[in-house]
Amino acid sequence: MALLQILISGLATGAIYALVAVGFMLLWQTSQTINFAQGEFVMLPAFFVLGAMKFGGMPFWLAIVVGLLLSLIVLGVLFKVLLVDPMLRHGVLPLVISTIALALFFKEGVKTWYAAEAQPFPALWSNDNLEIGGAVISVQNLVIIVVAVTAVLALQWFLARTRTGRCMQATAQNPALARILGVRVERMILYTFLINAALVALASFLISPIYLAKFSNGETLGMAAFIAAIVGGFNQVRGAIAGGLLLGVVDNLAASYISTQYRGAIPLFLLIAVILFRPQGLLGRAEERSV
């Protein structure tokens, strides 16, 4: 029964990774942005909420709404307009450097202007545990799995079934062609940034009650999302979902059954193996290469 517990908590962690990985991948697809601040993007919305409650005296539910809006503005619109747009023409690397600096900015900003210590974050639902056939399963974990998986599936439905979603996919695959076909490419790219902002905010609200809100939370999370996106397949939403879930489970299994010292090494080996032997990812299609 310990195995079931590990699996459930692994899936919960993995569902969070998946949320963050999907956003990471969308940004890469539509604007070649490798966002090294993605982890900090997850750390920050919780502090928007805490700040709204502390300085604005708002009730929790209103603070959540404000937190989401602030995320959309800061991590979506401002990030795109101020940082990504000016640098896009100059290749991937200057933007990578900027996102590294942005990560530092967010971390130090929260540490300096809010708090250096971990902050408790109100839970959206009960902290109880369920006992199913001898296994103790936390309700929070179950809710995380359900909410995160629903969100990602809804996103996939949106991308595949709605007109806007298909325009976004067209933009991701071939912006020049999409433009000729009358897709408003700029707007689609903006939507991607907004979706990423919403996904990281959701992830933030889901994990902060469990792990507390702390300025340094982004470091491991960003890396995990990053690995999940690559392992699953860099060019597909369902790849990123599978990658996230797999990574969460493997991580939890490794922590329980393999030395805790080298627990961190397993995702890395997974990453290297996938890149070298199956660079399109576990679920991805091979990218066409022309000579």
Give the whole-angstrom CA distance, residue 254 versus residue 267: 10
- When asked if residue 177 is in the footprint of another protein (CB under 8 A), the reply is no
Q: Which of 226, 236, 242, 251 binds another protein (CB under 8 A)?
A: 226
Q: Of the candidates 56, 187, 279, 286, which one interacts with another protein according to CB under 8 A?
A: 279
Output 56 or 86, the one with its CB closest to another protein. Answer: 86
Structure tokens at 281: 């990812």
- Residue 182 region, left (φ>0) first, then alpha (ψ -120 to 50), else beta? left
For 85-204, strand residue ranges (E) read 129-132, 135-138
> What minimum distance in Å lies between the beta carbon of 196 and another protein?
17
Of residues 59 and 91, the one with the C-beta less far from another protein: 91
For strands 129-132 and 135-138, give the pairing.
antiparallel
Q: How far is the CB of 67 from another protein (least distance, A)?
A: 22
Residue in 94, 117, 153, 162 binding another protein, rule: CB under 8 A: 94
Residue 118: other Cβ atoms inside 10 A: 14
Q: Determine the Cα–Cα distance for residues 264 and 6; give it in Å rounded to an integer.
A: 17
Q: Which of 160, 177, 258, 265 binds another protein (CB under 8 A)?
A: 265
Which span (42-50, 95-103, 194-202, 210-218) binds another protein, by CB under 8 A?
95-103
90 — phi, psi (to 5°)?
-100, 20
For residue 289, state whether it binds another protein (rule: CB under 8 A).
Answer: no
Kindly state whether residue 74 participates in binding another protein, applying the rule CB under 8 A. no
Looking only at residues 126 through 165 of this chain, which bind another protein when binding is defined by CB under 8 A? none
State the nearest-atom distance from the C-beta of 109 to another protein, in Å.
6
Q: From 6-14, 85-93, 192-200, 241-249, give the range in contact with another protein by CB under 8 A.
A: 85-93
User: Which member of 92, 146, 154, 286 binds another protein (CB under 8 A)?
Assistant: 92
The conformation of residue 71, written as its DSSP 8-state character, comes to: H
- The contact mask relative to another protein for 21-60 (x = CB under 8 A, - = no) is -------x-----x-x------------------------
Q: In the complex, what is the shortest distance from the CB of residue 221 to another protein, in angstroms, rounded to a whole number?
A: 14
Cα 155 from Cα 278, distance rounded (Å):
26
Q: Residue 63 and residue 96: Cα distance in Å, rounded?
A: 32
> Which contacts qualify for 145-149: CB closer than 8 Å, 24 or more apart?
145/8, 145/11, 145/12, 145/15, 147/15, 147/202, 147/206, 148/15, 148/16, 148/18, 148/19, 148/202, 148/203, 148/206, 149/15, 149/18, 149/241
What distances in angstroms separate CA 32 from CA 36, 51, 129, 150, 225, one per listed residue?
A: 12, 32, 42, 27, 16
Residue 230, interface with another protein (CB under 8 A)? yes
The count of chain residues that interact with another protein, using the rule CB under 8 A, is 41
Cα 198 from chain centre: 10
For another protein, the binding residues (CB under 8 A) are 28, 34, 36, 82-83, 86-87, 89-98, 100-102, 104-105, 108-109, 112, 179, 223, 226, 230, 261-262, 264-265, 268-269, 271-272, 275-276, 279, 291
